[in-house]
Structure 1
């Protein structure tokens, strides 16, 4: 929600491709805050927050810890995307069609990961075979 009470939609974010700056943006937006509000809470300049969100610069360790706390996300999530971050919409409130689509998406993602793992093993075997024949 924004300060006007307007709900903010976060539809561009994807965990698997998100950068540090993306995670800062999505966590800030989930709270309905503008960059200047976050900057004030952290005691930094607006330009500093803009640099973090644009992946131009990164905060020092002390500000990083503060940032995670203020945004109510884990430090690990902020750095890597793993762990406790923003809460996605609750699935029990979603229509059945969307739940089914999410299930299909998760299954495809799992299959893709398995395929990538198999490809990596095959590439390794090919490399060994090629080097063995040289």
Structure 2
């Protein structure tokens, strides 16, 4: 994450923190999630997310969309600037995976992928236990 944050600091998006970048990533390009949906995805409180969203709105990466039929529901949408940084961040991750697999035989890549899935499952289990306690 330190390398990721340093990469952001040396880009045109130096005003973003890595946590804000992950919030942008959680909002995504397709759906118009609610704040509660994004907070759940990030495993943060609604209050914590609210502060992040407020900063991202001020910086021009996110916009809040009120629902005309229910003003209590607020959807989140990436602005043009937000979509651009989302795509660049996604490319960063794609390039990282490609470079990691470079030079590996098919069987070696499959073992690495299986190990990373196991690690991800372990971390999800730890996170779930932390959220329960």
With normalisation by structure 1, the TM-score equals: 0.30
More helix by proportion, 1 or 2? 2
More strand by proportion, 1 or 2? 2
With normalisation by structure 2, the TM-score equals: 0.30
- Greater gyration radius: 1
